[in-house]
Amino acid sequence: MKLGLAVSTADALPSAFVVFRDELGRAVERSAALGYNGVELALLDAGQVDTPRLKERLRATGLDVPCISSGQVFAADRLYFTHPDAAVRQAAVQRIVGMIRLAAEFGAKVNTGRVRGVIHEGEAAAVAVERCLECLRACADVAEPLGVELIVEPVNRYEVNFVNNCAEGLELIHRCGRKCVRLMPDVFHMNIEDNSFRQSFEAGAPYISYVHVADSNRLAPGWGHLDFREIFSVLEDIGYDGWVTAEILPKPDPEAAAAQAARFLLPLIEEYSRRMATAR
């Protein structure tokens, strides 16, 4: 298991759930200094990344980019897969395709997140599902040959009204029918929407490709009331050995938040990894 941190460029939206807003090379260096294994890039557009420069910083620090997330595409530019306007849907697909091609450069996944969209007032949920599936499949047509996974993240009802819990995420994945489309549980959203961490992780186990963590208040783990020892126990039981990435608020300040998440999570990951190694 490896620990990641969500970061972004200096001009990221105030609403973006990232800790470091910085030149990406510096964000990599700051994360490495705290013991992280990688950084998730929260982007508005693939063009924000100077790929050769970032690769150089990754080589120098030994870090990886496990995932590229797209929440700002929805939040800033209002591009998403369920939009009634086909031109907007196509623009959303093209934005994600750009991120897929960038992800292929780093061996990363792409989190489609809120870009999947919402159910519009006056429209049936089935309409949203079909629009979303059409766009997801168009993205998968590009992602599959490149070996890039597209991950579906259930998001709580206070942010979107479409695909709020892991069961709904799994249903969308099954209907999509593409091997590269996988599930990304986020324990912050699960704490609001899912009846049980264990039930949801066990039901989704064959499809889980990536995990987000934040405490109950969206602060760094250890500063809320979630039982992370229980969560890691469930991950161990289902044999999950992928990335766990902190997507948290930069409070009380970015350095303190990033340091707390690493200080709290790294011992759990080390303990988990020892047990997994012994089990093998």
Residues forming the active site? 153, 247
Which pairs count as long-range contacts for 60-64, CB under 8 Å and 24+ apart, including other chains?
61/28, 61/29, 61/32, 62/32, 63/28, 63/31, 63/32, 63/36, 63/37, 63/38, 63/39, 64/2, 64/37, 64/38, 64/106, 64/107, 64/108
Q: What 8-state DSSP symbol labels residue 163?
A: S
CA distance linking residue 19 with residue 162, whole number of Å:
26
Single-letter amino acid code for the residue at 199: Q
The answer to whether 250 and 22 are in contact (CB under 8 A) is no
Closest CA to 174 of 147, 206, 202: 206
Q: How far is CA 97 from the centre of its chain?
A: 16
Q: Please name the residues in contact with 209: beta carbons below 8 A apart, sequence gap of 6 or more.
A: 109, 149, 151, 182, 183, 184, 242
Residue with structure tokens 């799994």? 170
Phi, psi of 173 (to 5 degrees): -65, -45
Q: Residue 123: helix, strand or coil by DSSP? A: coil
Q: Per the structure block, which two tokens stand in for 15?
A: 């609403």
DSSP string, 174-214: HHH--TTEEE--BHHHHHHH-S-HHHHHHHHGGGB--EEE-
CA distance linking residue 216 with residue 235, whole number of Å:
18
